[in-house]
Structure 1
Amino acid sequence: MRIDKYLWCTRYFKTRNQATEACKKGHVRIGDQVVKASREVLPSDEIQLRKNQIQYRLKVLDIPTQRLGAKLVDIYRMDTTPAEALEHQKLMQSAKEYYRKKGTGRPTKKDRRELDDYWDETE
């Protein structure tokens, strides 16, 4: 099976086109080599995948015949991504949420006054 199809089948990407683009950009490696989207995947291959600023590592256990449900993905791959990489993503996400919640709009007059006071104190 092609690497782009494998990554799509194991739900690392929503579309096969996204998987192909990741391969073209050099975000997918097998061993230490950057691979093209047409590269064949074999059981026991070790894949490194960069997605959302995380370096995923996975080992191919078997080749699926079609796109899988999320519960069945672990039958075909073993995720060996370091825990620090996933914690780093959670930290980045919480930092974004702390600054301003999504959908709250522009700063209010009170928010602007607090920002002005903060900048005056630091100077």
Structure 2
Amino acid sequence: MPPAKLPPDRMRIDKWLWAARFHKTRSLATQAIDGGHVKLNGTTVKPARELRVGDTLDIAIGDTSWTVVVQGLNEQRRPAPEARQLYEETQASSERRAAEQEARRLAPAPGSDLRGRPTKKARRQIKGFNEF
């Protein structure tokens, strides 16, 4: 029987972001890192940078920003509950995200309630508005 494979002690940051389910693909993780949306211990890095347990990551995805401490490394992408065990979000980060979510709930962006194509009635109103 072959010996059990030990977990790695370091891995590429783009692969970890994919395995921890912050991005759907490694190429999207690479684009985020190249765009400066991911910082390792406060500095911008390249996608091939080695990541270790205990490192701190600042991750910006859209309007949401996370600050997480790496708790584990995994070569494979696992289900979400297992992926959440790979990191621990800092207290300040979770409070900030909760405050941002509450602000979005109380003051939604204009037009966020619009879905799909306009109805006939809405189209007539738009046409009437544009004629003046």
TM-score, length-scaled by structure 1: 0.77
Would you say 1:9 and 2:22 are equivalent positions?
A: no
Q: Aligned letter for 1:69?
A: P
Identity within the alignment, %: 26
Q: Is the 8 A contact 2:42 2:57 kept in 1?
A: no
Alpha-carbon distance between aligned partners in 2 of 1:76 and 1:56, rounded to the nearest angstrom = 14
Aligned equivalents of 1:24, 1:90: Cα separation in 2: 30
Query: Structure 2: where are the runs of 5+ without partners?
Result: 1-10
The amino acid of 2:88's aligned partner reads M
Give CA deviations for 1:42-96 in whole Å, capped at 9, x if unaligned: 0000000010111111110111121111110122111222323244246437724
Distance 1:3 1:109, change over 3 A: closer
SS at match of 1:64: coil
Aligned residues: 114
> Which of 21, 28, 50 pairs up with 2:31?
21
Q: CA RMSD in A?
A: 2.7
Query: In 2 relative to 1, CA 112–26 (structure 1 residues): closer, same or farther, beyond 3 Å?
Result: same
Q: TM-score, normalised by structure 2?
A: 0.72
* Partner Cα distance (2:112, 2:74) in 1: 42
Q: Which runs of 5+ in 1 are unaligned?
A: 117-123
Matches within 5 A, 1:83-122: 83-89=95-101, 91-92=103-104, 95-96=108-109, 99-103=112-116, 105-106=117-118, 108-109=121-122, 112=125
Larger fraction in helix: 1
